[in-house]
């Protein structure tokens, strides 16, 4: 890789990081007086507080006091960064650059989740969550499972659509036996008996086995992508190990509680965004 390409990559990454920072910051435009900003580039301000933070960072790295030249250098670099960000936005990088958009989206999700997880859950919240989800935390010793397989070879481009139709029928109350008739006949036949986990894994694989462990008898999974198509896993019966003690798995309970809370925070935020902004949907059939 030559120096020019390296330079372009570094500049591109710098622009993306700068755009992310700009997107994550509410820029004050009209209510910043002369004492509150260090520089102004058209309608964008560099807050004096941010300038001071940059100076403090430089001062911590230097052994000698900052000079006027040092301060001028910091301000010029901040102005140049703002100019690059503004130019990148004007050139449509937010609209047309997948890397920039993806970076911003991931940073937004990270900030939303962090904001929602600042408060530590109370102990009674965790114990209540544990009791309400005891099936999730109780490991199964043996499972009796069935599956419906939708093969790419049999259904071609509509394989996922057919799997979703089957899932909808199960949700509406059709029996598993009826819905299973719509699947591929090439599905591996699973013994209709309780099997230990290693045996279940042999028939449906490790990821689907873990999915089955989370189900209660009579429940079924959403269509899961597998090699060559999609599968729906149906749990007929399970034999569980002894109920775990809360104190022994508290960390696991906290981890799952936090994960579900993060998911709920993100979903709530996204639902609110759809209310805050005017969204018009115009899908083309």
Nearest alpha carbon to residue 229 among 153, 156, 152: 152
Alpha-carbon distances, residue 242 vs 196, 198, 254 (angstroms): 15, 19, 20
Residue 169 shares a structural domain with residue 250: no
Please indicate, yes or no, if residue 113 is contained in any of the structural domains. Answer: no
pLDDT band at 22 (very low <50, low <70, confident <90, very high): low
In the β-sheet with 224-226, what is the strand arrangement from edge to edge? 195-196, 140-151, 229-240, 224-226
Residue 229 shares a structural domain with residue 248: no
CA torsion sign for 177, 183, 186, 188 is negative
Residue 265 shares a structural domain with residue 221: no
Please state, in angstroms and rounded to a whole number, the distance separating the CA atoms of residues 62 and 64: 6
Residue 74 shares a structural domain with residue 17: yes
Q: Which domain holds residue 146?
A: 139-240
Range list of H helices, the chain: 3-24, 48-61, 68-90, 93-96, 98-116, 123-132, 134-137, 152-155, 159-171, 176-180, 197-204, 206-213, 250-276
* Statement: residue 29 has pLDDT above 50: no
Please indicate, yes or no, if residue 283 is contained in any of the structural domains. Answer: no
Express each pLDDT in 210-264 by its tens digit.
Answer: 889 888 899 999 999 998 999 999 999 998 878 889 999 999 999 989 988 988 8
CA torsion sign for 157, 163, 164, 169 is positive
Query: Looking at residue 6, what is its pLDDT?
Result: 44
Residue 236 shares a structural domain with residue 254: no
Express each pLDDT in 200-209 by its tens digit.
Answer: 999 999 889 9
* Statement: residue 139 has pLDDT above 80: no
Residue 144 shares a structural domain with residue 62: no
**Backbone conformation region of residue 284, classed left if phi is above 0, alpha if psi is from -120 to 50, else beta:** beta
Q: Looking at the whole model, is its pTM more than 0.75? A: no
Query: Looking at residue 17, what is its pLDDT?
Result: 54
Q: Which residue has the higher pLDDT, 273 or 96?
A: 273
Residue 211 shares a structural domain with residue 251: no
Query: Looking at residue 164, what is its pLDDT?
Result: 93
Residue 236 shares a structural domain with residue 258: no
Please indicate, yes or no, if residue 144 is contained in any of the structural domains. Answer: yes
CATH number at 168 reads 3.10.50.40
The percent of residues in the chain predicted with pLDDT above 90, rounded, is 34
Please state, in angstroms and rounded to a whole number, the distance separating the CA atoms of residues 254 and 261: 10
φ, ψ (nearest 5 deg) of residue 64: -105, 160
Answer whether 230's CB lies under 8 Å from 183's CB. Answer: no
Structural domain total, the chain? 3
Residue 221 shares a structural domain with residue 155: yes
Please indicate, yes or no, if residue 282 is contained in any of the structural domains. Answer: no
Please indicate, yes or no, if residue 224 is contained in any of the structural domains. Answer: yes
Query: Looking at residue 31, what is its pLDDT?
Result: 47
pLDDT band at 269 (very low <50, low <70, confident <90, very high): confident
Please indicate, yes or no, if residue 260 is contained in any of the structural domains. Answer: yes
What mean pLDDT value characterizes the chain?
A: 83
């Amino acid at each position: 890789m030559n120096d020019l390409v390296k330079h372009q990559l570094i500049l591109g990454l710098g622009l993306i990081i700068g755009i992310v920072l700009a997107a994550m910051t509410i820029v004050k435009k009209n209510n910043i007086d002369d004492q509150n900003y260090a520089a102004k580039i058209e309608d964008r301000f560099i807050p004096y507080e941010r300038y001071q933070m940059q100076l403090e960072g430089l001062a911590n790295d230097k052994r000698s006091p900052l000079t006027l030249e040092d301060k001028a250098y910091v301000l010029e670099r901040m102005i140049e960064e703002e100019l690059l960000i503004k130019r990148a936005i004007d050139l449509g990088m937010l609209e047309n650059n997948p890397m920039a958009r993806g970076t911003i989206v991931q940073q937004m999700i990270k900030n939303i989740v962090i904001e929602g997880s600042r408060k530590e859950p109370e102990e009674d919240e965790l114990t209540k969550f544990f009791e309400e989800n005891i099936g999730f935390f109780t490991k199964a010793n043996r499972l009796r499972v069935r599956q419906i397989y939708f093969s790419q070879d049999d259904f071609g481009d509509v394989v996922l659509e057919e799997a979703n139709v089957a899932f909808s029928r199960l949700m509406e109350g059709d029996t598993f036996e009826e819905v299973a008739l719509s699947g591929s006949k090439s599905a591996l036949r699973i013994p209709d008996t309780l099997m230990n986990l290693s045996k279940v894994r042999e028939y449906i694989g490790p990821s689907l086995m873990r999915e089955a462990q989370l189900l209660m008898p009579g429940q079924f999974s959403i269509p899961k992508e597998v090699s060559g198509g999609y599968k729906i896993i149906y749990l007929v019966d399970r034999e569980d190990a002894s109920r775990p003690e809360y104190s022994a798995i508290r960390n696991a309970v906290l981890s799952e509680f936090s994960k579900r809370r993060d998911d709920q925070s993100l979903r709530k935020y996204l639902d609110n965004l759809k209310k805050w902004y005017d969204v018009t949907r115009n899908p083309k059939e």
